[in-house]
Amino acid sequence: MQNIFAKTDEIIRSAKPAALCVVISTEGSTPRKAGSKMLVYSDGSVFGSVGGGSVEKQVVEFALKLIGAGKPEKFVFNLEDDLGMHCGGCMEVYIEPVNPLQKLFIFGAGHIGRALAHYAKDFGFSITFFDPREKIFEMPGFEDFICVNKEYFEAIGEASFDQNTYIVIVTPKHSFDEEILARVALKEHAYVGMLGSSRKVAMARQRFLDEQILTEEQLNAIDMPVGIKFRAETPDEIAISILAKLIDVRNTILEQK
C-alpha cells in the first residue's frame, strides 16, 4: 500500500489538487495523536485519517476551502465543546494545499525551447515538448521531459489543456507560430506566449483581427513578444526572460486566489 508521502508526490505530478492535513499537537484524549496525516482531494475523498467522526468531517470541509484559496492555515479543535465528541481533548491541525506542477507546453525544441525547459524544470513546471522534426528528440537533453514528435496541429488536438497549462510558442517558422497560436489561444490555459519581433507581432495581430481569428480581448491576453522585457540576446537569456514571466503569472494567479 502506498504511504502518504508517495501519494503526495503523485498529486504534485498530476493535475488534481489536494490538501495535506497534519495533526501537529494534541491535549487530553483524542482519536489520533500528533503526526497523523490525511490527504483530502478536491472531490472530498481522503487518504489516511486524522481521527474520523466529527473532527475529520470538519477538517475535510476546511481543507476543501483551502484547496481553492491555495494558502495553508492552522486550526484548533476542542473536541467536546466544538464538535460534541466525548473524548473531550484538543487537536491542532495544519492544512496545506498540495498544488500540482504547472504544465508547460513548449512548441519548438530548438535552442530557446531547450534552454527554457532546462531552467523551468527546477521551478515547479512539468514540461512537454511539441516538435515534428525528424530525430529532434534524439539530441541529448530531452530525457527528463515528455516529447511529442507529431505535427503541431495533430498534437494540439490530442493534448489536454487546463487552467494550469502554460504555453510557449518558439518554433523555427513564423507561419507555424501564428497557426499554433490561433489554435491554443482558444484552449483553456493560464498563459500563452509567442516569440517574435515587434514587427512580426504587429502583423500577426492585425491578421488575426482582419480575418476574425481572435478578438481584441483574446489578443490582449497573449504575451507577445514573449517574456519579461530586457535586453536578452542569447537563447539562454531569452529563456530566462520567458521563465521570469511564467513565474510572475503563476505567482499572481496564486495571490489572487
| Domain shared by 159 and 145, yes or no | yes
| Domain shared by 90 and 113, yes or no | no
Pair 170, 104: CB distance under 8 Å: no
List, in sequence order, every residue forming a beta bridge with 165; answer none if it has no partner. 103
Q: Taking the model in full, what pTM does it have?
A: 0.75
Q: Distance (Å, rounded) from C-alpha 110 to C-alpha 115?
A: 9
pLDDT band at 85 (very low <50, low <70, confident <90, very high): low
Instruction: With a cut of 60, say whether residue 83 has pLDDT above it.
Output: no
| Domain shared by 88 and 113, yes or no | no
pLDDT per residue as tens digits for the range 43-70? 899 999 998 788 888 999 999 988 877 7
Domain boundary, last residue among 49, 75, 98: 98
| Domain shared by 17 and 66, yes or no | yes
Pair 179, 153: CB distance under 8 Å: yes
pLDDT per residue as tens digits for the range 185-219? 999 999 999 998 888 889 999 999 999 999 999 99
Q: Which three cell numbers stand for residue 54?
A: 466529527
Closest by alpha carbon to 102, among 170, 183, 161?
161
| Domain shared by 62 and 106, yes or no | no
Q: Which residues contact 146 (CB under 8 A, 6 or more apart)?
A: 126, 127, 128, 129
Residue type, 207: R
Q: Which residue has the higher pLDDT, 219 or 1?
A: 219
pLDDT per residue as tens digits for the range 144-193? 899 999 999 999 999 999 888 999 999 988 888 999 999 999 999 999 99
pLDDT band at 229 (very low <50, low <70, confident <90, very high): confident
Q: Which residue has the higher pLDDT, 73 or 28?
A: 73
| Domain shared by 91 and 135, yes or no | no
Give me the pLDDT at residue 15, please.
66
Q: Which residue has the higher pLDDT, 78 or 70?
A: 78
Q: Distance (Å, rounded) from C-alpha 207 to C-alpha 44?
A: 46
CATH number where 138 lies: 3.40.50.720
| Domain shared by 81 and 151, yes or no | no
Mean pLDDT on 225-251: 91
Taking each helix axis as running N to C, give the angle between helix 235-256 and helix 111-120, from 0 to 180 degrees, rounded to the nearest 10: 50
Query: 36 is in which domain, residue-wise?
Result: 4-98
Give me the pLDDT at residue 55, please.
85
Residue 70: what are its φ and ψ, rounded to 5°?
A: 80, 15
Helix (H, G, I), strand (E, B) or coil at 96: strand
What's the mean per-residue pLDDT of the chain? 88
pLDDT band at 99 (very low <50, low <70, confident <90, very high): confident
Mean pLDDT on 9-22: 83
Report the domain count for the chain: 2
Give me the pLDDT at residue 87, please.
59
Instruction: With a cut of 60, say whether residue 81 has pLDDT above it.
Output: no
| Domain shared by 152 and 180, yes or no | yes
